[in-house]
Homo-oligomer: A and B are copies of this chain.
């Protein structure tokens, strides 16, 4: 009944694996201290102070993460993520951090530590690592994801140092220890960073899950032990700083999945992020228990499941995974499909299914779709469209607001309080959130008895300095910001291009082309008018006619005032035509005058 052939995407032999345990660059340890390089200081940073700098992460959920620890000639980098473009960044694919500051101090970078495999923490590595070239320290699964990214981008020569919780690494003045955390992906690391200014705990993207789906709970004991030695500052996750109560364990989702699988007669399609490897395991478990086969749909999910299986992060019984091409040979009540598209992303598997454009999977009456994710702000409308299309095809959709099919991977207020109680830090520095979240997280710490003068709120580009006595935000600002990636261009879309896109998106363009006899200054033919996105030209003949007359008139009188000064004449045309068109339509198209001298 099932295809006997192993399905294509699991038919991977070690040689074409994106990553494997036999690859020596991935072998855990021995980790050598970074090569001692005499750093040439470009800018003189104050000596004998620990400097904390965010090149990303402090501007909201979905911001690219990148934090720097600097002391004299040594720098550590934590994470190098990509960010979601904001609504104003029209046409932009994603953002990466501006690393000018690090490029100038490249020789001082002892290591790049990656906390976990989510895109906002690893996504910009193919762009930043080739410029920085420092050794990479991270856990096995994250290394697997990263190595696949590097291979896709044709990046070679990266050195991966595989670390696991408990590993201790000395790099320059820093003594780093990896700490096990739970989140919504396996292999999440926090770091204890020993510095001459004291011990700093760097804990992003975690929650306290005492019954995780994969691996051990957050290592609360080790954190308490470190507290015994004295924690100078705790830097930690502000994502859910506004949300009261405790975060729910991922286990609740397993129960919900099991119930859904039990109660559903038709096919079940579960959509989530491709990096949510624990979620995939939960679907696998529900499928096994309820005698369904599993199909994986979506390129990034296939790749990540592949990597996770090869590295032993997924328990997959033989025969469970089926080739997508054989899906229509299976009875509906024996099919489960795991796919991408939980955010309504264009071209994702679920969105193509909802549009009736997926090659292998046609949605039909009786299908149940589970969206196992929360909407990232800004994606709500795209998700709604997808859901409505699925209903129109006869399917039902289960969303997180109806059943527990997703839980946050981030700590709510009570978990955050537990961490403060465990770490007992002298200073509290909220990270990974927007200004609002950082401040509210600070208030939470204050309510736990942290001295309000020792709660430090800093934004991207700001510098926090710690000497033996005090820590505070300095007045220094380092270069930071969003580098926009659009198509093959990295950084070539800046404010001017964006402003033009915004203006054209709002009211369109209005190009006025005037051909002038350079000897007489007379217009040779009737002005050409090219307009897009302003008014529907075929129905605006009257306006266009009047505009031509107006342009001729403006040109003639401007030429009379300043003969042959075409820059000035163009400015006059731009100003006066803008006003003319606004009076006619209450719209502000971008007016572009072009004068061609013959």
Contacts and interface: CB of A to CB of B under 8 A. Distances in A.
Interface in A475-521: 486-489, 492-494, 496-498, 500-502, 504-509, 511, 513, 515
B384 A381 contact: no
Contacts of A222: none
Given A378-B380, A500-B532, A524-B598, A401 B508 contact: no
Contacts of A585: 487-489
Contacts of A598: 515, 524-525, 598
The quantity of this chain's copies bound in the complex is 2
A127 B325 CA distance: 53
Given A435-B392, A496-B536, A509-B504, A60 B384 contact: yes
A13 to B, nearest CB: 33
Interface residues of A, number: 68
Interface stretch (A84-92, A153-161, A278-286): A84-92
Interface in A547-598: 585-587, 590, 592, 594, 596-598
Interface in A332-351: none
Interface in A175-192: none
B488 A586 contact: yes
A397 interface: yes
A11 interface: no
Contacts of A535: 489, 492-493, 497
A399 interface: yes
Nearest to A486: B587
A421 interface: no
B384 A532 contact: no
A91 B509 contact: no
Given A381-B87, A505-B504, A439 B586 contact: no
A496 to B, nearest CB: 6
A596 B525 contact: yes
Interface string A417-434: 000000000000000001
A435 B228 CA distance: 58
A492 B536 contact: yes
B391 A384 contact: no
A387 B397 CA distance: 33
Contacts of A91: 505-508, 533, 587
A574 to B, nearest CB: 13
A242 interface: yes
Contact of A435 (B391, B486, B493, B508): B391
B401 A487 contact: no
A436 interface: yes
A527 to B, nearest CB: 10
A533 B501 contact: yes
Interface in A244-292: 244
A243 B590 contact: no
A192 to B, nearest CB: 30
Contacts of A328: none
B515 A532 contact: no
A46 interface: no
A598 B380 CA distance: 53
Nearest to A598: B598
A494 B381 contact: no
Contacts of A487: 507, 585-587
A388 B524 CA distance: 55
Contact of A532 (B492, B504, B507, B539): B504
Given A505-B501, A513-B596, A384 B388 contact: no
Contacts of A534: 497
Given A536-B496, A587-B486, A506 B90 contact: yes
Pick the 9 closest A-B CB pairs, nearest first: A487-B586, A505-B505, A501-B533, A91-B506, A504-B504, A500-B533, A488-B586, A500-B532, A377-B380
Interface of A: 60, 86-87, 90-91, 242-244, 377-378, 380-381, 384, 387-388, 391-392, 396-397, 399, 401-402, 434-436, 439, 486-489, 492-494, 496-498, 500-502, 504-509, 511, 513, 515, 524-525, 528, 530, 532-536, 539-540, 585-587, 590, 592, 594, 596-598
